[in-house]
Amino acid sequence: MSQETIGVTIQLLGGEYRFTCTVAERDDLLEAGRYLDEKLREVRDRSSKLLSLDAVAVMAAMNISHELLRQHRQLDETDRLVNYHVQDIVQKIDAVIGKSVPVEL
């Protein structure tokens, strides 16, 4: 079953870019566009005004990629810690259950 698609216009550094997405994806696409525009403006404002749009876009893409990879590493570490603690709790529960006196029915 295909979902209806709509056109969405995203403003990036003053330029308009049209995208197609499903109605359900519209808000996420607009949010992503606002985020990318913010990152593009940060790079442009921090660097030489003589940078080409391509250079600004590549630098913003590298910054966003770095953020994403850092977040993935943090999530992986959090998953490892949670798994470690869950295993520790399970072992403690097993130990307590193993020491309990069986109840006759």
pLDDT, residue 12, reads 97
3-class secondary-structure state, position 101? coil
pLDDT, residue 3, reads 85
Q: State the Cα–Cα distance between residues 5 and 19, nearest whole angstrom.
A: 10
pLDDT, residue 101, reads 67
DSSP states of 34-74 as a string?
HHHHHHHHHHHHHS-TT--HHHHHHHHHHHHHHHHHHHHHH
- Would you list the domain boundaries of the chain? 5-99
8 Å CB contact between 29 and 10:
yes
**Is 5-99 CATH 3.30.160.880?**
yes
pLDDT tens for the chain, 105 residues long, are 468 999 999 999 999 999 999 999 999 999 999 999 999 999 999 987 788 999 999 999 999 999 999 999 999 999 999 999 999 999 999 898 888 766 676
8 Å CB contact between 49 and 57:
no
